[in-house]
């Protein structure tokens, strides 16, 4: 009985360690996702600023048509 209890305690200890490692991984990945989302927002703003403003005149037909 003592041997079985010791084995269960060992497995529980390993499971707790694994759970902690998985939690750290999830936190790290969430931080990376947040950073990438911020970069994406900044890139979208840069693209919007660099695009020529439309004057509302509709689409012009190129001269070769």
pLDDT per residue as tens digits for the range 4-61: 999 999 999 999 999 999 999 999 999 999 999 999 999 999 999 998 766 555 567 7
Distance of CA 15 to the CA centre of its chain: 26
pLDDT at 23 (0 to 100)? 98
Query: How far from 51 is each of 12, 17, 18, CA to CA, in Å?
Result: 58, 51, 49
pLDDT single digits (tens) 27-41 = 999 999 999 999 999
Compute CA distances 12 → 6, 16, 19, 33, 35, whole Å. 10, 6, 10, 31, 35
User: What stretches of 1-65 show up as alpha helix (H) in DSSP?
Assistant: 2-50
Distance in angstroms (rounded) separating the CA atoms of residues 64 and 61: 8
What pLDDT shows up at residue 32? 98
Whether this model's pTM surpasses 0.75: no
């Amino acid at each position: 009985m003592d041997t079985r209890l010791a084995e269960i305690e060992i497995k529980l200890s390993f499971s707790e360690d694994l759970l902690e490692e998985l939690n750290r991984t999830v936190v790290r990945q969430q931080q990376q996702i947040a950073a990438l989302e911020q970069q994406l927002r900044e890139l979208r703003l840069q693209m919007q600023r660099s695009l020529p403003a439309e004057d509302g005149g509709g689409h012009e037909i190129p001269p070769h048509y």
